[in-house]
Amino acid sequence: MPEYQYLSGFGSHFSSEDARFPNALPVGQNSPQKCPHGLYAEQLSGSAFTAPRTENTRSWLYRIRPSVVHQPFKRFEGVATFLRGTGWEEQHPNPNQMRWNPFDLPAAGSEVDFVAGLHTVCGAGDVRARNGLAVHVYLANCSMKDTAFYNSDGDMLIVPQQGPLDITTEFGRLYVKPNEICVIPQGIRFSVALEGPSRGYILEVYDGHFRLPDLGPIGANGLANPRDFLTPTAHFEDRSVEGYRIVSKFQGALFVATQGHSPFDVVAWHGNYVPYKYDLARFMVINSVSFDHCDPSIFTVLTCPSNRPGTAIADFVIFPPRWSVQEHTFRPPYYHRNCMSEFMGLIFGRYEAKEGGFMPGGASLHSMMTPHGPDHRCFEGASNADLKPERVADGTQAFMFESSLSMAVTRWGEETCQKLDARYYECWQALEKHFHL
């Protein structure tokens, strides 16, 4: 059978059996006295049992051994990973515009897998209070070997920038290339295999789960369409492994337990709490066809809402290739001060508002109420351009993690990585006074 098979839809209730063992799903109930093929039934809950039906998420897994069969967890020593999930006061607050040059891949001759290559750049909130978010990068060059990882603290939205990710999950396998994303919800175990040096970004949310944004006046269709989200089908391995490692991220720290078998032994499953991937090229762009510049919220792919209506813990926003046709309009992003935090990354190409300095594999952070906008070159060019219909961002994919929380930068992000561009502010200094009495 093909290695990668998917089910289409977002927020759906799926059912899947490995084709090698048909009829592995119990009929008419979730937890029979004896499951088919001698399997164990195990429920994975992504919400409280009593959550409203529209928000209730859970899946039933039918596996060769229950996941409780492992040795006690211990602190995961000997990894250089820099993770945060609480205690964001390690650095003095810094309101300046920040831009990072591309983060370094591991040095040749070293072996750094996905877990060891995780580094927190910024974030806010507290994993123990289940409120907040963190932004990480991963910088890796080898596959995880007999190791699985799961995040007890929240969902992870993964944005590959260099190199595809071959991800094995308890639900099946995902192959995620640059310009695709995947979401691994809280608690789901996965392992990442690489084809070479790999780099990317991760948005982690501590409370709630990602969902599609409401469309309002847009109507029933547009932006990211539910049918384009893909969930893997069941694909199990029955493999005994001495000392297989299960790494848990718990309260921002890493722990490891060992067991004698692969955790990817789920023969069948059903539910609506699943990992999934999405191709950003399938995003249906909405934009102005008359005048003025729409707010970037029209480019929201996924959102994790807060308790305040219309306000997000985190939005995932992209700036895809599109037509620009506005008349009498300064077409690039306008100058702006925002009550939200904006972390931007570049997957490939050249971002339209800052064609120099903002590089693939790098990032920027514009904190709450810190002004930002096009650099001098972009402003002058757009202010004097012939306003014909034109293509924007061809060969480019930039994105933004936007949050209602004020994010603090970690010591790794501000100092250790040595990628912070101290001259970023200079890109605006040449902006001239054009006003005359």
In the sheet with 198-205, reading across from the earlier edge strand, the strands are 6-8, 229-232, 276-279, 180-184, 155-162, 198-205, 131-140, 118-126, 408-409
Catalytic residue positions, numbered: 293
Tokens 């066809």 belong to residue: 289
Say how far apart CA 295 and CA 390 lie, in whole Å: 19
The sign of the CA dihedral 384, 387, 389, 393 is: positive
Say how far apart CA 423 and CA 426 lie, in whole Å: 6
**Token representation of residue 292:** 């003025």
Say how far apart CA 120 and CA 123 lie, in whole Å: 8
Judge whether 372 is annotated as a binding position: yes
Judge whether 336 is annotated as a binding position: yes
The CA-based angle 121-122-128, given to 5 degrees, is 120
CB contact at 8 A, 37 and 22 = no
Judge whether 342 is annotated as a binding position: yes
Q: Residue 204's closest CA among 85, 114, 113? A: 85
CB contact at 8 A, 392 and 307 = no
Q: Which residues are known binding-site members for homogentisate?
A: 351, 372
Q: Which residues are known binding-site members for Fe cation?
A: 336, 342, 372
Q: Which residues are known binding-site members?
A: 336, 342, 351, 372
